[in-house]
Amino acid sequence: MIEEFSLFLNKYFSEQKAQINEAILVTIKWVLKEEFVHEFENTTLDKITTKITDPIIDRIATKILENIKEDLMSKDMLFNIISGMVKEFFLRNDEQKELKTLEDG
């Protein structure tokens, strides 16, 4: 699960590079991996989608902002980026699970 999330982060951020400062990208990746492991390492994908809540994303956004030295991004903007990214990750995984179920069926 963590490996899947790491691969997703790398791909997602390579697509977003033009929009986000490189130093911020590194910080976002680091905090997300740390928080992701802390929040979800013993959880299955099915349970995670119900655990992704605004307070969790808000806490992660706050932690990222604490670790970014430059004031280049508002919390709202960061919240939207993280929220969209996390939801996209689980949406992609759900789609892959559905495809696998259809193939196995």
CA–CA separation, 15 and 7 (whole Å): 13
Instruction: Report the Cα 51 to chain-centroid distance in Å.
Output: 13
DSSP-assigned letters across all residues of 1-42:
-HHHHHHHHHHHHHHHTTTS-HHHHHHHHHHHHHHHHHHHTT
Per residue in 43-84, pLDDT (tens digit) is 555 555 555 566 766 677 677 777 665 566 676 777 777 777
Range of the domain at 57: 2-104
Per the structure, the count of domains in the chain is: 1
pTM of the model: 0.45
User: CA nearest 58: which of 43, 37, 76?
Assistant: 76
